[in-house]
Structure 1
């Protein structure tokens, strides 16, 4: 889903710095447990093998990341 999200944002005209992407991967942070148990509700489209749609955030209300 990560690569699909980046591709979609770039197709929409968003410029994404490769250095920012290299710092966005969760495996780079020791406090994130990739092997633990998590409980969450799975959306219907995900159960059907699809990707959930991204949130549509108006650009004029979006806050910069840094």
Structure 2
């Protein structure tokens, strides 16, 4: 085996890996923080709507009973 050729190949390989490592380091990006968005609580909304409907129906029943 040609030792000079091997040395040249090994040196080129090391240079390539160094370049690749530098490129990989440059490509790493910082993670963006996720924005916290207020989520609607649909169950709570449904309960409130049902409560409102119940109170309205009770008031109507009372009104009808008065008349």
Bigger helix fraction: 2
Name the TM-score class by shorter chain.
under 0.3
Higher relative contact order (CA closer than 8 Å, sequence separation 6+): 1
Higher Rg: 2
